[in-house]
Structure 1
């Protein structure tokens, strides 16, 4: 099998794919980019490993249920969005393999057989695989949110790309919920412009700049807390020497914000 690319997806807000009648005009471009991913990848992965911004643990943790439940980790949405079912299978075998890879690389990891799919996973994956026929395992962030630790974990996951596993970091390139409107426009455009420029740099310089992301223009305005950025570190680490491309970008998301997704390889 070909070496699969990795992705960092700016996954949008809440359960948007299940509200397209109401919000489709806001999400048409993101929806189209996600639906195009199977064509870009060219094969059906054996499984998807999603590093989700919506799960943090003391140690890196993997969802290991064969049939993960749902987690409705949002509020204020229509009643039907709390009954959504995305019934992709899990993969206990992949979860155990990832645990072994991380521990062999010096990062303690554990399995969580109860963890369900959060909206960073099911809202991102539903447009990609609407039939829910590709197994999905979630990987948590590690508390402390150390960018170098997440980059190192990505490096340890790189062999999975040759085994048919699609590695997806699910977050947002801009995530300041107190300024998720015109108030955040300047910060989102400054940070997003920096991020896209960094992605075009040679690999070694690109990695160094991303590890020092707090020095970027408007960094802490764009990410008051960096949990939605760190899935990018894992996706990059797993494809550190590969060129980056932009499968999705908007300059006026929610009317005024700049957001971007990246593909490596």
Structure 2
């Protein structure tokens, strides 16, 4: 892929629960998130050639990238209406982007494999249904690496950064709060403490200090309450690595989500 004069920004999005964009009653609770997601492509100087999506819902022993030309759907949620197990986000894959991801990681001696059969999970298709409902921009997913080591994922992001100059939009998809046993107003205090720390870390600190705070994220207030398991936080590390020397802005925030949960989304780099 050719370099462009425009460097695409990087986004971290909170992707919400299950197939919410296809559920009118549930969408009412996601109005602010939907508004934020719907503005991502509208704010870009140039429509991306393809999107690289790092989803919290895919972990592998080594980093793994999608290779399918037409990925199927993975309905990786439970307890939702039957019709939500037949929804479709008909995006295509992108062979050249898959190749470039492999090249970039191999150049840094990072193990990488291609999965030609894996489909899209809801960490991809839920936000993408709002970001680009036309599904006319190819999307390739890239996994997290088991062990969920923060520095490993920051380094991954560094190796992906060059793709931004090739008109590739990088979107990291997770949730800034992900304690499913406390996903209601009882989490108001703890989710607020962690969200405040994360906002300060990403927005107020430059590269070295920001990285160190993220590497030691478990020291943050209410860290393990907000993330009993950190797979939904790790995509942020990839976004930070891909925009390591660039300031973040918070482009989405709610402090009363589902009655009291604090959640956020971030953009790195200029539009």
Matched, 1:191 2:188: no
| Correspondence for 1:138 | 141
Q: CA deviation at 1:42?
A: 2.4
Q: What is the aligned counterpart of 2:259 among 255, 258, 263? A: 255
Q: What is the aligned counterpart of 1:10 among 8, 14, 18? A: 14
| Correspondence for 1:165 | 168
Runs (4+) of structure 1 moved beyond 2 Å?
A: none
State the secondary structure of the residue aligned to 2:141. strand
Q: What is the aligned counterpart of 2:180 among 177, 182, 199? A: 177
| Correspondence for 1:243 | 247
Q: What is the aligned counterpart of 1:70 among 70, 73, 76? A: 73
TM-score, structure 1 as length reference = 0.98
Q: 1:183-220, CA deviations, whole angstroms, 9 ceiling, x for partnerless residues?
A: 22221101000001111212221111111111100000
Paired positions, count: 264
| Correspondence for 1:102 | 105
Q: CA deviation at 1:43?
A: 1.6
Distance 1:96 1:110 in 2: 11
Distance 2:236 2:109 in 1: 21
Q: CA deviation at 1:24?
A: 2.3
TM-score, structure 2 as length reference = 0.96
Q: CA deviation at 1:25?
A: 2.0
Q: Gaps (5+ residues) in structure 1? A: none
Q: Gaps (5+ residues) in structure 2? A: none
| Correspondence for 1:220 | 224
State the secondary structure of the residue aligned to 1:22. helix
